[in-house]
Amino acid sequence: MNELELKYGCNPNQKPSRIFMLAGELPVTVLNGRPGYINFMDALNGWQLVKELKAATGLPAAASFKHVSPAGAAVGVEMNDTLKKICFVDDLKLSPLATAYARARGADRMSSYGDFIALSDVCDDETARMINREVSDGVIAPTYSAKALEILKNKRNGSYNVIQIDKAYQPQPLEHKDVFGVTFEQGRNEIKLDESLFGNIPTHNKNFPAEAKRDLLIALIILKYTHSNSVCYAKDGQAIGIGAGQQSRIHCTRLAGSKADNWYMRQHPKVLNLPFINGIRRADRDNTIDVYMSDESLDVLADGAWQQFFAHKPEALTRDEKREWLNMLKGVSLGSDAFFPFGDNIERAHRSGVQYIAQAGGSVRDDHVIDTCNKYGITMAFTDVRLFHH
């Protein structure tokens, strides 16, 4: 089959809509459901990302995509009990692939609500069981175990989107895109990202432990498939904050940094022990945690709204408590899809525990950026590689 008709395009008024091949067969098979235009955009970008993560690290990889940018992505590095709890998987048996998706979903659970999932390996039973209890639009993987496929086919009253992709498929070296009736052509971004990118270190601190190199590599691969401008904070084999599609680099850094802060704040004892009422929905729990950690929390706790979610009124988190906790976040890696123009990005990154940075370099203010890194003892590599994605 070289063509698949879709319900509509990005919006219901955009008809007709289809995916097709000019030559050869489509590399995807719909095993269940009826994926739409945006579903396939997320699925195909997500598949490229997890395939590359797996090739670079040798570990199973998963991504959580929303509107053609990852909300989270990770490889299957084992989680401690606290991480399992904040990802709401402490009651599940986790395979390495399920661990990767738990981490990917747990990076930014609010943004991952209704995501499209990409998996680098055979979707096993454990991963399918986890997917089954989360709100998502569909999944793409090279294949599925018989039990996993049964579980997923029954999700969402039988309408859940399940796509299988030919893992051997290689696209043509040239890609095309139409904008306003004009066709654009470019060579595919086939640049290989590996640890050789971290050899040019202009900072005083030149210490790059193996874990930092792995996390920087993960961050850069994620950025390769993230709408630009983009910045990614990574730690322990996963993204912990992604800032995508911003016109200003500092806004990327701030947005991703705030998400990284939220990821770490969810591990605070007060957050871990919030007294939720029985039967609260997972999405309501995620939203409530986000509000509790925000500056709005004191107002919410004061006006009685807490009674909708908590068995008793929880103790508020003060700003001093938040800052004290965030000061303990260390060892974070930061990747940028292009150069940092000013040292303000480094100042903001430092506040979220960043100790290792990989960025293209080439700004007229590189000296200021280097000086700011030296001020905090940050190790930074100039990769000389730009990763814009549009």
What amino acid positions are annotated as catalytic residues?
A: 66-67, 229, 390
CA geometry: angle 340, 341, 343, nearest 5 deg: 80
Q: Cβ distance 380 to 358 under 8 Å?
A: yes
**171 vs 184: CA distance, rounded Å:** 17
DSSP 77: P
Residues 236, 75: Cα–Cα separation, whole Å: 9
Candidates 55, 389, 20, 42; CA nearest to 228 is 389
Burial (CB count within 10 angstroms: exposed 0-12, middle 13-18, buried 19+), residue 306: buried
Angle, nearest 10°, between helix axes 125-132 and 146-153? 10
Distance separating alpha carbons of residues 120 and 72, to the nearest angstrom: 14
In this structure, the chain runs to a length of 390
Q: CA-CA distances (angstroms) from residue 336 to 333, 360, 362, 380?
A: 10, 7, 13, 11
Dist. CA 236–CA 196, nearest whole Å: 20
Distance set, CA 171 to CA 27, 118, 161, 175, 225 (Å): 9, 18, 23, 9, 16
Name the nearest CA neighbour of 60 among 48, 77, 72: 77
The β-bridge relationship of strands 17-20 and 61-66 is: unpaired
Three-class DSSP category at 179: strand
109, 265 Cβ separation under 8 angstroms = no
Under 8 Å between Cβ of 47 and 138: no
Write the single-letter amino acid at 382: F
**Cα 374-238-76 angle, rounded to 5 deg:** 140
DSSP helix/strand/coil, 45? helix
Report the C-alpha gap between 254 and 350 in whole angstroms.
11
